[in-house]
Amino acid sequence: MIELRSDTFTLPTQEMLEAIPKAALGDDIYGEDPTVKQLEALAAKMLGKEAAIFMPSGTMANLASLMAHCPRGSKVLVGNETDIYIYEAGGAAVCGGIMYEPIPTQPDGRLLIEDLEKAFPDDTTDPQFALPSLITIENPHNRMGGKVLPLSYLAEVQAFAKSKGLPVHMDGARIFNASIALDVPVAEVAQYADSIQFCLSKGLSAPVGSMVVGTAEFIEKVYRLRKMLGGGMRQSGLLAAAGIISLEKMVNRLADDHANARRLAAGLAETPGIEVDMDVPTNIVFFRVTAAGFTWQRFVEECYAAGLNIAELGHGRIRAVTHSGITEQDIDQALEIIRQVLSTEKVLSV
Ligand code: TLP
């Protein structure tokens, strides 16, 4: 089966599997797991922040970050196509008493400054209004096709947030894909946000885990919240050992995933009955099936039966995500399967 549903399907590398049993361990709730500490120090250094904390998932990393930034009854400004808004079970509202203010998302993943501005009440002293306490951005933007936010735009958001006295949180689940696409060190991308969450468990191929980075004071708050949310993990050095390899060995190879994604998009563009977004800066390809007689459901089912796993991800579009388990040959095979599924005889037989 060619697995293109997500880069969350990546399996730990051989090197990770060998490092795991050798990891030095301690109780991380006592702050005594040396491997977790090593991973946290490495993440903070790479992203150019004071401190970092190892989290069980991207969802909990975003949730704890939002709760650390936002008082109860305040609003978080969040893109209406983001993971935080759509796929994280409303956690900030449920656990943090935080109100989501969904902001329209541009096709390139940006939230317009003028749209952010509209979320601020004219009179902040009027007690009727919930007040904004945080701006969040997603970079690269998953549901917008892995689009990478330009550094100039990140600088604009940072300046706008500063003018309003608010922090910026970046959901950088795939921030290393952004840094590879822009060909800049990841710290250059990270410098525009006060806090960032990024995932080890996606393209970087670790089995489990995400990091939050920020100031030491902020990370101290997240540390408490992680415990409160049930994310204190004891001998989590077993997992951190894989995460260290993610950061040391798995970053540069993301360029291969990007090349494979572009190869897939180029092949899809030549396939009748498919409409593909050709702007593919990272590892995510979105397309629609326009062939007569095909719903996306039927297309996904027939691809699955032929050995290709893909899925719908919003608005009837199909998402294909490349990762370390996918080779150039897999991409060619996937294109072959798609062409066979859409072949004329089948369409005529509907
Ligand atoms: N995204 C998943 C699905 O939930 C859609 C995927 O397959 O892409 N931020 C971003 C930008 C994400 O894409 C995801 C996962 C998360 C956060 C949540 O991370 P986890 O799955 O570790 O909780």
- The CATH number linked to 239 is 3.40.640.10
Radius of gyration of the chain (CA): 21
| Distance from the first to the final alpha carbon of the chain | 26
> From the CA of 346, how far away is ligand 1's center (Å)?
35
pLDDT of residue 163: 98
Claim to verify: residue 211 and residue 298 sit in the same structural domain: no
Residue nearest ligand 1's atom 3 by CA:
87
CA distance 243 to 247: 6
Type of residue at 202: K
The atom number, within ligand 1, closest to the CA of 174 reads 11
> From the CA of 87, how far away is ligand 1's center (Å)?
7
Write down which residue in 225, 250, 275 finishes a domain. 250
Claim to verify: residue 193 and residue 332 sit in the same structural domain: no
Claim to verify: residue 21 and residue 84 sit in the same structural domain: yes
Contact 2, 333 (CB under 8 A): yes
Look at residue 189 and tell me if it is in a domain: yes
Out of 87, 210, 239, give the residue to mutate to test ligand 1, the one with the largest number of ligand atoms within 8 Å of its CB: 87
The atom number, within ligand 1, closest to the CA of 141 reads 11
Claim to verify: residue 183 and residue 307 sit in the same structural domain: no
Write down which residue in 200, 227, 250 finishes a domain. 250
80-95 burial code (b ≥16 CB/10 A, e <16)? ebbbbbbebeebbeeb
Look at residue 2 and tell me if it is in a domain: no
Going by their DSSP bridges, the two strands 195-199 and 168-171 should be labelled as parallel
Claim to verify: residue 108 and residue 235 sit in the same structural domain: yes
Q: Please list every protein residue whose CB sits less than 6 Å from any atom of ligand 1.
A: 6, 8, 57-59, 83, 87, 138, 142, 171, 173, 199, 201, 210
Question: 104 lies in which domain range?
Answer: 7-250
CA distance 206 to 324: 11
pLDDT of residue 348: 55
Residue nearest ligand 1's atom 21 by CA:
58
**SS3 of residue 333 by DSSP:** helix
Look at residue 264 and tell me if it is in a domain: yes
Claim to verify: residue 317 and residue 223 sit in the same structural domain: no
Residue nearest ligand 1's atom 6 by CA:
6
Claim to verify: residue 271 and residue 188 sit in the same structural domain: no
CA distance 273 to 285: 16
pLDDT of residue 123: 94
Claim to verify: residue 292 and residue 152 sit in the same structural domain: no
> From the CA of 174, how far away is ligand 1's center (Å)?
9
Look at residue 12 and tell me if it is in a domain: yes
> From the CA of 121, how far away is ligand 1's center (Å)?
31
Look at residue 212 and tell me if it is in a domain: yes
The atom number, within ligand 1, closest to the CA of 7 reads 7
**pLDDT (tens digit per residue) in 88-101:** 999 999 999 999 99
Q: 121 Cβ partners below 8 Å, 6+ apart?
A: 129, 131
Closest CA to 205 of 170, 169, 261, 257: 257
CA distance 58 to 71: 21
**pLDDT (tens digit per residue) in 235-284:** 999 999 999 999 999 999 999 999 999 999 999 999 999 999 999 999 99
Residues in the chain predicted with pLDDT less than 50, given as ranges, are none
Q: 282 Cβ partners below 8 Å, 6+ apart?
A: 140, 146, 147, 148, 174, 177, 178, 180, 181, 254, 257, 258, 261
How many domains would you assign to the chain?
Answer: 2
Ordered alpha helix ranges (H), the chain: 14-19, 34-47, 58-69, 83-86, 91-96, 113-118, 151-164, 175-182, 186-190, 216-228, 237-249, 254-269, 296-305, 328-341, 344-348
Claim to verify: residue 242 and residue 315 sit in the same structural domain: no
Claim to verify: residue 238 and residue 264 sit in the same structural domain: no
Claim to verify: residue 157 and residue 74 sit in the same structural domain: yes
Q: 3 Cβ partners below 8 Å, 6+ apart?
A: 9, 309, 325, 326
pLDDT of residue 142: 98
Write down which residue in 234, 250, 266 finishes a domain. 250
pLDDT of residue 33: 98
17-45 burial code (b ≥16 CB/10 A, e <16)? eebbeebebbebeeeebebbbbbbebbbe
Look at residue 1 and tell me if it is in a domain: no
Look at residue 285 and tell me if it is in a domain: yes
CATH classification of the domain holding 326: 3.90.1150.10
pLDDT of residue 349: 52
pLDDT of residue 344: 64
Look at residue 324 and tell me if it is in a domain: yes
Closest CA to 61 of 161, 206, 208: 208
> From the CA of 7, how far away is ligand 1's center (Å)?
9
CA distance 199 to 176: 9
pLDDT of residue 174: 99
pLDDT of residue 87: 98
Claim to verify: residue 246 and residue 282 sit in the same structural domain: no
